[in-house]
Structure formats: structure tokens, C-alpha cells
Amino acid sequence: MNEHLRVVLDTSFELAEGPIWWRRENALVWVNILHGDVYAFRDDWEAPERWGLPASVGCVVEMPNGQLLAASAAGLVDVRSGDVLAQPPFDGEKLRPNDGKLDPYGNLVYGVMRYPDSVAGEGFLTRFRNGTHELLLDGLEIPNGMVWLSSSELLFIDTPTRRIDRYRYFEEKPPEFIDVYADLSNFNGFPDGMCLDDTGSLYIAMWDGSQILKIDENGCISRVGLPIERPTSVCQKPNTRTFYVTSAKASDGSGGCILAIEM
């Protein structure tokens, strides 16, 4: 095994996703999508803390006040209190939230996809701003990784396209497509969640690819092999070179663990 990689939790989560670093508690937080669970864990804890939500949960973010807010099929939920703060802009019996993040203006942006099986054209990207959901992009299938290079530039993945698209981003209107930032179709797997590190490099989890792809500031792509088939997303621990990787169970039952890797 890679000497710079360690298993943080070997629990076999069905679909662990959306890792973030919870600054208020100095802990890693992620979701187990289909079970509707949110977890928090720190290396000096004996076991992770778990909050069960009333429906599947796509992502969790830390608000400026330290509150954990999750996008679930039941709506936007305060993770610790369980209070539903906003109703979902979709039918939770047929659709579910997927990956999401806070935009540069403090609004929650997240994807929505068909459930239990994805359907091309039925996914979309929504933004919760000023107490209202706004449609940003539609005609998608599996809206996934997103990062902002600046307050006016969004990178976004619709997984089946196997590419990262670049958009001009606005605070008060939908994004406008600029170009294809990176075509990843020549690499094994499908791009899932991603993060931007503090040097400007992108890290993309490749579902069914057993790897993380790194795209540096010059556009050069390198790979980091993983001992799991289905990495789902990646995040950086602040002020370190430690990255946490969530994963899903593969068809043979392997995977679903949480990894840490020095990169």
C-alpha cells in the first residue's frame, strides 16, 4: 500500500460522499447518501458521531456560524437539530440531492438527480439564495463535483460526460457555459466529487477508476492510485497536505471506507 495513505475508518459505507472539513469542531464530516446519515470524525475520537436524517442526503456544508446544513430529499436540514429549514424543489420520491457546496456568496448550490437510477436529462443544479431555490442548470444526469476558481468562475462535473466544464458564475442569475476545462475520457473511471487545494490544483475522485486525478495550475494531469474501486469525493484538511477520500461499495462488496492520503 502507498506509504502516504492510511485507512481512517474501514467501515463499509454503501455510498459515503461529500467530505468537508468542519472548521468549528476541527473534524471531518461526510454523508452516507442512501441511508440519510451525516457523520463527523476526528482521529482522537473513539468513533464517529452520526446524525440520521429523515431521507437520503446528498451533501453537507458548514455555514459561517458553524452550523451544519444538509441537502436531503426531505429538504434543507439543520443537521444537529433536525429542523427542516426549507422544502425541496423536487419530488423526493423520484429525485434526490447529490453533491453540493457553498458558493462564493454563501449560498448552497447542489445537484439533483433521478432516483434510484439516474436518467439523462432529468438532473439539474439548484441554488438556495434568500430563502428560495433557483434553477441554475438543467438537462443533466448526475450533477457532481463543483469548485469556484473565483467568485465569477465555476467548474462543474456532470459525471456521464467525463469532463469538467467551466462556467461564468453570477450572484443573481444562472451560470453561462464558457468551455470544457478538462476532458477526462481517456482516464479510467468517471469523474465524481472534486476539490480545489490551497495551491490552485484540482483533485478529482474517479468512480470505478481506483484513482484520484490531479490537475495542476498549468493543466498537467497526474494520477494517484487508490486501493479502492469507487472513490466518490475528496477534500483537503486546512493548512496541511492531508486529503480525505470517501468511497462507495463496489460490486464485490469492497470499499466504502474513508481514506487519508498525503499529496
At residue 116, the pLDDT reads 92
Q: pLDDT (tens digit, 9 = 90+) per residue, 72-93?
A: 999 999 999 999 999 999 999 9
Q: What is the mean pLDDT of residues 46-62?
A: 96
Q: pLDDT (tens digit, 9 = 90+) per residue, 245-260?
A: 999 999 888 899 999 9
Give the length of the chain: 263
Integer CA distances (angstroms), 16 to 23, 135, 241, in order:
20, 26, 22
At residue 185, the pLDDT reads 97
Q: pLDDT (tens digit, 9 = 90+) per residue, 33-43?
A: 999 999 999 98
| Cell triple for 75 | 429538504
First to last CA, the chain: 15
Place 13 in a pLDDT band, splitting at 50, 70 and 90. Answer: very high
Average pLDDT value over all residues in the chain: 96
Q: Report all structural domains of the chain as residue ranges with CATH numbers, in order of start.
A: 5-262 (2.120.10.30)
Which residue shows C-alpha cell 442526503? 57
3-state secondary structure of 218: coil
Cβ-contact 263, 203 below 8 angstroms: yes
3-state secondary structure of 179: strand
Residue 1 pLDDT more than 70? no
At residue 106, the pLDDT reads 96
At residue 198, the pLDDT reads 93
At residue 230, the pLDDT reads 98
Place 234 in a pLDDT band, splitting at 50, 70 and 90. Answer: very high
Q: pLDDT (tens digit, 9 = 90+) per residue, 133-186?
A: 999 999 999 999 999 999 999 999 999 999 999 999 999 999 999 999 999 999
Contacts for 11-15: CB closer than 8 Å, 24+ residues apart:
11/256, 11/257, 11/258, 12/249, 12/253, 12/254, 12/255, 12/256, 12/257, 13/246, 13/247, 13/248, 13/249, 13/256, 13/257, 13/258, 14/248, 14/249, 14/256, 15/232, 15/248, 15/249, 15/256
